[in-house]
């Protein structure tokens, strides 16, 4: 928890610096008193900080309101900070007064039109990203196996739910509804079930949104890095079990004859943990949060692999980074015999906002491969 608080204090400090830069630009673009505008830019980072470090000491509604306002501020500030760079470059060029365009032109023309255009563009961006994040899709994947499974079956997978002050019990209930509508044989959650504040989730009774979630072969989950921020995985595991979700922390479950599930502890908790060797005649499903052990799962004979964590970048241009960190940051890809699937996630971090791949549930239909009968020689 201490490291989590440090992270939010760092974001607060960066937000204050960004706010100062935004004020230097937008004071020329907005018809409001300069000192009042500066005060707004200096206070907004506190709106983001307070629910993240004091959320357990505030009424639920206050924490929820501040978290949602702060979340939108974070998205706005992220993109506005990127837009400050071109403005600063133009300001530096104007110092040299090329072609007679000096700082007076920057103040009275460039800053006015660039600032207003940036605000209008960001308003449209926030609207589009918010709408997209609220419309999850079902990504369907068909798979055949030569393993001797008794019948075809389906697996529904969702990761990165991030229950907390922004996404609460009603969001968990939406996920339950979407899962139940698919009627899978097996339901899997790929970690980051909470956003990090377990105390708030328990006060909000967010896990009760999962009540009634069930599948013939069960509902299983692994923990992610954000679950560890709650500082009490045992308590989270107990509460999830009370609502029908069984957490795996390195064990193997034999679901039915010929089908097994391996759920790995999160890499942050057990970086040296390894997937077990799969039984040769058993279709084995591997699941972890961070997609860091795909090759290992393939080498151990796993058939199907699920992970999340990356959010597929969640919003542009973050995916340029995730693509370079992970062997697979989103989508489905074969690693030898193994079919690996990394999901963009169902929820969101910070605020329910997405630009890029939509939030999703992945539904995999597995069926035995048809054997082609060879005609007997005459």
Write out the DSSP string of 162-188: -BSSSS-HHHHHHHHHHHHHH--SEEE
CB of 239 within 8 A of CB of 200? no
* Alpha helices in the chain, H assignment, sequence order: 2-26, 34-54, 60-95, 103-105, 111-133, 169-182, 198-204, 225-229, 233-242, 294-299, 319-325
Name which CATH class applies to 137-368: alpha beta
Host H or E run for residue 259: strand 259-263
- Residue 196, pLDDT score: 85
Host H or E run for residue 157: strand 153-158
What is the Cα–Cα distance from 182 to 156, expressed in whole angstroms? Answer: 8
Instruction: Provide DSSP, 294-356.
Output: HHHHHHTT-SEEEE-SSGGGSSTTTHHHHHHHSS-SSEEEEETTEEEEE---SS-SSSS--SS
What is the Cα–Cα distance from 236 to 269, expressed in whole angstroms? Answer: 15
Question: Tokens 């997978």, residue?
Answer: 157
- Residue 95, pLDDT score: 85
**Cβ contacts of residue 325 below 8 Å, gap of 6+?**
none
283: its two tokens: 């279709």
**What's the pTM?**
0.89
What is the Cα–Cα distance from 260 to 254, expressed in whole angstroms? Answer: 4
CB of 203 within 8 A of CB of 170? no
- Residue 378, pLDDT score: 43
Break the chain into its structural domains and give their ranges: 2-132, 137-368
298: its two tokens: 């393939």
CB of 72 within 8 A of CB of 126? yes
CB of 215 within 8 A of CB of 247? no
What is the Cα–Cα distance from 14 to 20, expressed in whole angstroms? Answer: 10
From first to last of its 378 residues, the chain has per-residue pLDDT tens of 556 788 899 999 999 999 999 999 999 999 889 899 999 999 999 999 999 888 889 999 999 999 999 999 999 999 999 999 999 999 999 888 877 788 888 888 999 999 999 999 999 999 999 999 999 999 999 999 999 998 999 999 999 999 999 999 999 999 999 999 999 999 999 999 999 889 999 999 999 999 999 999 999 999 999 998 877 899 999 999 999 999 999 889 999 999 999 999 998 888 889 999 999 999 999 999 999 999 999 999 999 999 999 999 998 899 999 999 999 999 999 999 999 999 999 999 988 999 989 999 999 999 998 765 555 544
DSSP letter for 194, please.
B
């Amino acid at each position: 928890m201490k490291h989590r608080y440090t992270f939010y204090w760092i974001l607060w400090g960066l937000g204050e610096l960004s706010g100062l830069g935004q004020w230097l630009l937008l004071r020329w673009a907005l018809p409001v008193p300069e000192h009042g505008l500066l005060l707004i830019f200096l206070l907004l980072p506190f709106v983001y900080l307070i629910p993240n470090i004091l959320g357990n000491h505030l009424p639920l509604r206050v924490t929820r309101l501040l978290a949602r306002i702060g979340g939108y501020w974070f998205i706005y500030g992220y993109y506005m900070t990127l837009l400050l760079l071109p403005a600063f470059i133009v300001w530096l060029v104007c110092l040299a007064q090329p072609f007679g365009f000096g700082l007076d032109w920057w103040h009275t023309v460039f800053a006015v039109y660039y600032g207003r255009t940036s605000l209008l563009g960001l308003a449209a961006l926030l609207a589009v990203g918010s709408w997209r994040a609220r419309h999850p899709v079902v990504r369907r994947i068909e798979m055949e196996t030569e393993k001797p499974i008794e019948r075809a079956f389906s697996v529904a997978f969702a990761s990165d739910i991030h229950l907390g002050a922004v996404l609460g019990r009603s969001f968990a209930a939406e996920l339950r509804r979407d899962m139940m509508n698919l009627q899978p044989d097996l339901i899997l959650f790929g970690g980051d079930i909470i956003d990090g504040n377990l105390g708030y989730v328990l006060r909000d009774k967010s896990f009760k949104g999962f009540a009634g979630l069930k599948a013939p072969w069960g509902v299983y989950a692994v923990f992610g890095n954000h679950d560890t921020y709650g500082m009490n995985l045992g308590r989270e595991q107990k509460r999830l079990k009370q609502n029908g979700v069984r957490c795996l922390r390195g064990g193997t479950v034999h679901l039915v004859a010929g089908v097994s599930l391996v759920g790995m502890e999160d890499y942050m908790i057990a970086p040296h943990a390894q997937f077990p060797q799969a039984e040769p005649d058993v279709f084995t499903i591997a699941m972890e949060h961070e997609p860091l052990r795909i090759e290992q799962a393939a080498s151990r004979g796993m058939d199907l692999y699920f992970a999340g964590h990356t959010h597929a970048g969640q919003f542009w241009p973050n995916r340029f980074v995730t693509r370079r960190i992970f062997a697979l940051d989103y989508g489905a890809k074969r690693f030898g015999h193994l079919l690996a699937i990394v999901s963009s996630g169902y929820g969101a971090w910070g605020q329910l906002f997405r630009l890029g791949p939509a939030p999703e549930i992945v539904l995999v239909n597995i069926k035995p491969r048809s054997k082609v009968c060879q005609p007997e020689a005459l």
